[in-house]
Amino acid sequence: MTALETLGAPAGVPVAAPTTTHTYERAGVPGSGTTRVRRVPQLLLRVLAPLALIGLWQLSDTLDWVSPQVLPGPMAILDAYRELWAVGDLQAALPISLQRAGTGLLVGGTAGLVLGVVAGLSVTAERFYDAPLQMLRTIPFIALVPLFVVWFGIGETSKVALIIGASIFPVYLNTYHGIRGIDRKLLEVGRTFDMSRWETIRLVVVPLAMPGILVGWRYAAGAALLGLVAAEQINSQAGIGYILNTANQFQRTDIILAGILVYAALGLVVDVVMRTLEHVLLPWRATHDGR
């Protein structure tokens, strides 16, 4: 007897046999074999496009489509890296540049976090300093370079101050909006359970605002690297910017491109670190990976 007959279907009526194919396997739900198979082509696509661009780049250099003085090929840039490594310039420049970017990001991000939390929790604080911060945010931080040189000189202080100015606003905005975006009903739940203000912040506000806060830090990390590029053009005596300025004086396009690619690699590493931090701090957060 079929299931439909058990539920009262007329006897003798043909009933289609249940299919055993599960739609979730075809849709690529996590845990299915199809999902694991699809990940391989996706990884290949991520690698194939950069490799194709590098191959085309090298081909244009080999066939002299572009002058080496304008755009050296990948092999020439590898030779530039070997030269920088052999003389020790690259090893000496990286820690200095990372220290500048890290210090500016830490100070600026912390300041933006504190300002965002206070403005998100206090309407009075928001009315006091949100409007001035919004006006300052619209000023490109690169435009502040001459002013910072006048204020702080051409030493390390002006460089770090520029990076601070670049990284403070992303953290502030995302922290503020992350807190203000919390559903008021969830805050009322805390009052229902007689939570203190500190317990409400620790158990309700911080976990719900954490995704926005981390997004702010991620944007701030990228902004800190942009600020680093601008800051190291201010009479740098060390760092990646110093290598670029020296190479520009001697018209070494290969070393200039090598330094620019170092900035790009640093940005990629920082983005990977911030993504990993999000996964560690927010393991419960559902993500969409494009499957």
Mind listing the pLDDT tens digit for each residue in 150-200? 888 888 888 899 999 899 999 999 999 999 888 888 777 777 777 777 888
pLDDT value at residue 197: 77
Rounded Cα distance between 206 and 175, Å, is: 10
Task: Give the Cα-Cα-Cα angle 279, 283, 285 (nearest 5 degrees).
Answer: 95
pTM value is: 0.73
The 10 Å CB-count burial string (b at 16+, else e) for 188-209 is eebeeeebeeeebbeebbeebb
Q: What's the rounded mean pLDDT across residues 211-225?
A: 90
Domains of the chain by residue range: 88-281
Cβ atoms of residues 228 and 108 within 8 Å:
no
Residues 6+ apart with CB under 8 A from 79: 254
Nearest-angstrom CA–CA distance, 265 and 272: 11
Rg (CA), the chain: 27
pLDDT at residue 4 above 60?
Answer: no
Type and span of the H or E element at 66: none
CB neighbour list of residue 84: distance below 8 Å, 6 or more residues apart: 90, 243, 255, 258
- pLDDT category, 8, cuts 50, 70, 90? very low
Look at residue 230 in the predicted model and tell me its pLDDT: 85
Find the range with the poorest average confidence among 94-103, 189-198, 238-247: 189-198
* Lowest-pLDDT choice from 13-22, 61-70, 109-118: 13-22
- Rounded to whole angstroms, the Cα distance separating 129 from 148 reads 22
Which CATH number does the domain 88-281 belong to among 1.10.10.10, 3.30.460.80, 1.10.240.10, 1.10.3720.10?
1.10.3720.10
> How much is the pLDDT for 20?
46
